Homo-oligomer: A and B are copies of this chain.
Amino acid sequence: MDNPLARKLSHFTRLSASDQAALDFLARQRVRQVHARHDLIREGDRPEHVNLILSGWACRYKTLEDGRRQIIAILLPGDFCDLNIFILRTMDHSMAAITPVTYAEVSREVLEEVTLKQPRITQALWWDTLVTAAIQREWSVSLGQRTALERVGHILCELFVRLRMVGLTSGNSCEFPITQVDLADATGLSAVHLNRTLQELRADELIVLRDRLLTIPDLPALQVLSLFNPNYLHLDAEGQQYGANEP
């Protein structure tokens, strides 16, 4: 299974063969590529499709008039942008590729067709939507209450766990292709302080981060330091009751 969406949703529900096929069908919609640091869509644009990230990292962000930028969310392979986005006339934020990104452009019609035929997928996409909202809330907690050290530790924990969900970790390591400037904009810190905070985590041997490779030798320890409680990711197969009966 190389479909990150299917991989992610299977943490919620058991997917039947036809569910799998439908998700593969979604991932085979018009596939597009975008270079690193290019926008997928800009604030003010009218959204036309639902994008599904197939590979690479992207982000949502907003900029203030004077140039301050906040990264609002990080999108990993298997992540969808808002499913019912066409209801809104214009985008209220922008999206950009952090690394080179491939994504599938799913039309409203195709999405409706799939969700009509596969109620389990509809359920699972709802779950995904709710988890996305929960992540957004947790970021508010980080930005509002956590110290720099906790904040950085927290986002590392979150990204690691989310990458593990889609099979993009090996052991306690994962690719980590985001620059310090972007991480700073995501955590609401200055680049200088983010740099020093990473060094503190390194000095405490909680992380190894070099050449775009992150290793977390002792994830539980990092979780404790960061006050990271993964419950908001709702990982514990909560939707098994909706699962397929077929093997």
Residue positions of A touching B, CB distance < 8 A:
60, 62, 64-65, 68-70, 72-73, 82, 84-85, 87-90, 92-93, 123, 126-127, 129-130, 133-134, 136-141, 143-146, 185, 187-188, 227, 231-232, 234, 236, 238-239
Also in contact, A234 and B88, with CB within 8 A (given A69-B145, A130-B82): yes
- Apart from A87-B123, A92-B231, A93-B232, what are 8 other A-B pairs with CB-CB below 8 Å? A62-B141, A64-B145, A72-B140, A82-B133, A92-B232, A136-B136, A143-B144, A143-B188
A62 / chain B contacts, CB cutoff of 8 Å: 137-138, 141
What is the distance, in angstroms, from A179's C-beta to the closest C-beta of chain B? Answer: 17
A126 / chain B contacts, CB cutoff of 8 Å: 84, 87
A68 / chain B contacts, CB cutoff of 8 Å: 145
A-B CB proximity, top 7 nearest: A144-B188, A143-B143, A92-B232, A89-B238, A70-B144, A70-B141, A68-B145
Are B130 and A133 in contact, CB atoms less than 8 angstroms apart? Answer: no
What is the distance, in angstroms, from A159's C-beta to the closest C-beta of chain B? Answer: 16
Are B92 and A141 in contact, CB atoms less than 8 angstroms apart? Answer: no
What is the distance, in angstroms, from A108's C-beta to the closest C-beta of chain B? Answer: 12
What residue in chain B is nearest A141 (Cβ atoms)? Answer: B70
Instruction: State in angstroms the CA–CA spacing of A89 and B231 once bound together.
Output: 10
Instruction: State in angstroms the CA–CA spacing of A134 and B64 once bound together.
Output: 15
A140 / chain B contacts, CB cutoff of 8 Å: 70, 72, 136, 139-140, 143
Instruction: State in angstroms the CA–CA spacing of A62 and B227 once bound together.
Output: 12
Are A141 and B85 in contact, CB atoms less than 8 angstroms apart? Answer: no
Are A60 and B137 in contact, CB atoms less than 8 angstroms apart? Answer: yes
Q: What are 24 inter-chain pairs, A to B, with CB distance below 8 A? A: A62-B138, A64-B146, A70-B144, A72-B137, A82-B133, A84-B126, A84-B129, A84-B130, A85-B130, A87-B126, A88-B130, A88-B234, A88-B238, A89-B234, A89-B238, A92-B134, A93-B134, A93-B232, A133-B133, A133-B136, A136-B137, A143-B143, A143-B144, A145-B188
